[in-house]
Structure 1
């Protein structure tokens, strides 16, 4: 039984050993960028009371989720290529399954909250302060944390209840439901369909509303007469939709492909997995947070304060040195 001996993460199954070091460096850089960018967003929002606004509170939750996801998944696959250690215990693998579906589903609903925020801000600007409040956003985020945790727990419990054969090699960067079910000894068709239904509920419902809300937003933008504001709004919507599309479309494609038994090369499958998982986690802080005026102003003030403090310290040190020489 593989339940007791654990599993082995293969990462990219077809990659040659001479490429292990470049792959490990690339994955490690992904983690460092995610750690720095999402960590910076979390620190900036928590340390600046002026950023205690509904949109930034939602972004804070997104940054926490992405940072947790990458911390749970990336170090293990980096170790697989860095030190040739791809082993993971059965409990560790099931925990990754839980985390992947829990945090992945949470991101879906956070994107939904962002779309609602933008919809109300642009389409109903006069009612925005009364509709979108800090308390309401915090309550919704807490509900989504709880709801998606239940989804991840259900999927993890279903996966842990199946019987495994002597196969324990997982062709993926981290344990996913699809990868774990592929090692089952029993017929898991019903289980696959059940989890596919859950995944489509988690993905399609938010994605449909996001597309609808941005469609309405673009229609409102087109009706604006000011060319500059229209151009900026279009650019913002386009960047948001690119990140959202990068998150949702490949996920839906992979789930549907696995459901209809569409054959995908294992390395291509893993590449798509990394692409729609880790790239958005690096892009989210830049697209949704670091490009905003308030965040840039906060960063500018922080840097200027640091420079001023350094100059003052240098001035004090020079004064002390001058007095000691006298």
Structure 2
């Protein structure tokens, strides 16, 4: 059976953590299962609330809604397979399924960077230019910006799998990762993939460093603005908010850029540490971001409380 690149590999096998002793398989599968469920329900709650409650149809929540949809798709396409690998030993993916997963991994990974950037810019305008906020930001403008980034990120994903499909594979098919992404799959090719991986490195760094630069700049200006206000209460609240935001942003960007950099420098870190860092920047932000960016805000908590009480009342009667 021939593939597009006449590959003899018909399927790939996810190794997850290559050096993990078998007695820890159940613990890892339960951990991934809990992560998936927390992410699933947290992001679903955000999406459902934003769809059903008109007073939440605001630019900030439109941005958060896009982030939640992206994270829902990503986790649903990746986590069930790695859970099955550790739960029942089924870690195999067909050649086609692996590259479809690769497309969404790079597509949605890039998208998240730009959506978080839009969120930071929105907060910058809201805090630093409050009187002009509604004249600058609107639901329509935010929806258009997010749509542009969905299309742009999809183009990045297509460019990645196009590079991957041009590589021939024969024999070795064990992907040292929890999902199919470009570098762990490309190194399995029996031809030199250094050039393709270098190109991918440049694209990845630009795709993540550009949004990160805007995010850093936005938060620096926000902190300066609040410091200049001279109000201790505002400073404390802003410091707490920025700290929690930066926790999520740091988890997303710092390990990601570190992994891309040492892969490009051809350093050989511990394989299990490599997979751990990838899981850290991939899955942890997906269940922490809806909680920190949305569910902990007063407006969302009040709305969720009303919906919950209403459902309880209807159930009683």
TM bracket (short chain): over 0.9
1:282–1:64 CA distance, 2 compared to 1 (3 A): same
- CA change 1:267–1:259 in 2 (3 A) is same
Q: Which runs of 5+ in 2 are unaligned?
A: 1-5
The corresponding residue for 2:3 is: none
Uncovered stretches (5+) of structure 1, i.e. residues with no partner: 314-326
Aligned to 1:149: 154
Measure, in 2, the Cα distance between the counterparts of 1:257 and 1:302.
48
Kept in 2, the 8 Å contact 1:2–1:167? The answer is no
Aligned to 1:67: 72
Report the equivalent of 1:11.
Answer: 16
Counterparts in 2 of 1:142-181, with a 5 A limit? 142-181=147-186
Q: Does 1:252 align with 2:282?
A: no
TM, length-normalised to structure 2: 0.96
* Bigger Rg, which one: 1
Shift of 1:306: 2.3
3-state secondary structure, aligned to 1:223: helix
- Deviations 1:53-77 (Å, cap 9, x if unpaired)? 0000000000000010000000001
Matched, 1:41 2:46: yes
Selected match of 1:298 from 283, 291, 303: 303
Misfit runs of 4+, over 4 Å: 1-4
Conserved? CA contact 1:119–1:214, under 8 Å:
yes
Partner of 2:214 in structure 1? 209
CA RMSD of aligned residues (A): 1.1
The Cα of 1:146 is off from its aligned counterpart by 0.5
Q: Distance in 2 between matches of 1:35 and 1:303?
A: 18
TM superposition score normalised by structure 1: 0.94
The offset of 1:4, in angstroms, is: 4.2
Mapped to 2, the partners of 1:264 and 1:133 lie a distance apart of 46
* 1:225 corresponds to: 230
Contact 1:2–1:90 (CA under 8 A) maintained in structure 2: no
Answering whether residue 28 of structure 2 is matched by residue 28 of structure 1, we say: no
**Distance in 1 separating the partners of 2:41 and 2:294:** 14
Alpha carbons 1:58, 1:137 under 8 Å: kept: yes
Contact 2:16–2:178 under 8 Å retained in 1: yes
Q: Is the 8 A contact 2:9 2:170 kept in 1?
A: no
1:3 Cα deviation after fit:
5.0
Deviation at 1:184, TM superposition (A): 1.1
1:242 is displaced (CA, Å) by 1.3
Q: Note if contact 1:3-1:90 (Cα within 8 Å) is conserved in structure 2.
A: no
Partners of 1:231 and 1:291 lie apart in 2 by: 17
> Matched residue of 2:229: which SS?
coil
> Do the aligned residues in 1 keep the contact of 2:8 with 2:171 (CA within 8 Å)?
no
Q: Aligned equivalents of 1:236 and 1:255: distance in 2?
A: 29
Tell me if structure 2 keeps the 8 A contact 1:2–1:165: yes
1: distance between equivalents of 2:33 and 2:245?
26
